[in-house]
Structure 1
Amino acid sequence: MPIDQVHDLQKVYRKLLDRMARPGKLANLQAFQEKVDYEVACHDATLLIAMTLLDGEVSFHVISENKQPVEEKIAAYTLARHASMEEADFIIVLQDATEASIIEGMATCKTGNLVDPQYSATWVMESQTPLSNQPQLLLTGPGIERQTDLHTSFAPSIWQARSEAVQEYPLGIDLIFTDDIMQIACVPRTTTVSVQEVE
């Protein structure tokens, strides 16, 4: 049974909104996995997020060593247009993306302006390992009671680049993480992230 473009994607959207309001808290999209029968070289959760957020009014950019096939299919499924890193509304980071390309992207992507801070890039980032709430990152800020832990596959240098991108709040970027077992987690620009020393 294919994805219901209205009801299923509305449910995904509600989960996304809930997780943006609760940074670091994991959500599971496994209920939709059997419906994701599209041949796209990315996590199923990544494709679901793209289908939920992208449409003909927005643009996207893919960071990957083999991005063209994914770009073509996402454009076909969502009607969104491909754009440069500097202009894209959404940036999709596939799991084969290099650390350097992600850091460069965070330094050059849209972060909004003081009049319209919402004109910034939302990042959808594929973790190479399952997301968890094991110690790696310590999250604090709005929507978090005291603090919460989050573990992704991304290096401390990428989190440093993210910190630099959000240092002039309300300017910044919002991050959505996916993994290959249909989990998602969000880290909006309002969240303070500290990399923990794990022995």
Structure 2
Amino acid sequence: MIPPAFRDPVHDSQSAFRRLLKALSRPGTPVSLTGPAQPPAPMGGPLAAIALTLADADCPIWLDPALSTEPVRRYLHFHTNAPQIADPKAAAIALIGDAGRLPGLNEFHPGEAAYPDRSTTLILQLPALTGGPSVRLSGPGIETTASLAPRGLPGWFWQAWHENAARYPLGVDIFLTDDRIVIGLPRSTKVEAP
């Protein structure tokens, strides 16, 4: 049996979309995001909410090995009808359940000069959005600087993010989630160690 998605699909997906826009427009700011009550493990509620909100039949999804399970695949197919693909460069959305084993950011599509919006959006599910190495964020949507210390990212992540931001307007955008919060990292956000 496939678990249900949103209790009120129209209202809940609109609310989730507004929260995702808020997270991207205010990088580094935690935004609460309630997801479906029982998404298939190991998918957490916020990760499921983002997938259900952004994915549709015209939005190819790539799943990392942690999420590439039969229950997750069936759930996403049933609720979004999004094609699930094997090539991360061809994905509009990449769902990452084990961020510690995240492929390099250059494995995903950075967009094209004429169409930078065709880049891959990554959604990384982390053990926690606090308690990791601290970094300072700056850029559009941040008044001065913002601090962020997510736990569970690979050691190379922030250097790769620095390179991603240097490619602007190309590059990937990322949402970081735990079991109740989402934080947006648009490609225009710069990072440095404090």
Same fold (TM over 0.5): yes
**Which ranges of structure 1 fall in alignment gaps of 5 or more residues?**
none
- Residue aligning to 2:140: 142
Secondary structure of residue in 2 paired with 1:6: helix
Distance 2:78 2:177 in 1: 21
With over 3 angstroms needed to count, the CA separation of the structure-2 counterparts of 1:128 and 1:56, relative to structure 1, is same
* Residue 98 (structure 1) shift: 4.1
Q: Is the 8 A contact 1:60 1:92 kept in 2?
A: yes
Q: Is the 8 A contact 1:133 1:149 kept in 2?
A: no
> Identity of paired residues, percent?
28
Q: How many pairs are equivalent? A: 187
Distance 1:167 1:74 in 2: 33
1:23-42 aligned within 5 A: 23-29=27-33, 32-33=34-35, 35-42=36-43
Please report the RMSD computed on the Cα atoms of aligned residues, expressed in angstroms: 2.1
- Residue aligning to 2:69: 68
- Residue aligning to 1:176: 175
Q: Is the 8 A contact 1:133 1:148 kept in 2?
A: no
Matched, 1:88 2:91: yes
* Residue 41 (structure 1) shift: 2.3
With over 3 angstroms needed to count, the CA separation of the structure-2 counterparts of 1:133 and 1:8, relative to structure 1, is farther
Distance 2:156 2:133 in 1: 17
Q: Is the 8 A contact 1:156 1:195 kept in 2?
A: no
Distance 1:195 1:62 in 2: 30
1:10-159 aligned within 5 A: 10-29=14-33, 32-33=34-35, 35-65=36-66, 67-69=68-70, 70-83=72-85, 84-94=87-97, 96-99=98-101, 102-104=102-104, 106-129=105-128, 131-132=129-130, 136-153=134-151, 154-159=153-158
Q: Deviations over 1:42-101 (max 9, x none)?
A: 11110011001111110110113452322332222211111221100001110x3543xx
* Residue 135 (structure 1) shift: 6.7
Distance 1:17 1:88 in 2: 20
Distance 1:189 1:26 in 2: 17
With normalisation by structure 2, the TM-score equals 0.87
* Residue 133 (structure 1) shift: 9.1
Secondary structure of residue in 1 paired with 2:58: coil
* Residue 124 (structure 1) shift: 0.3
- Residue aligning to 2:162: 163
Distance 1:140 1:66 in 2: 31
Distance 1:122 1:77 in 2: 19
| Aligned residue identity for 1:15 | R
* Residue 113 (structure 1) shift: 1.0
Distance 1:128 1:28 in 2: 16
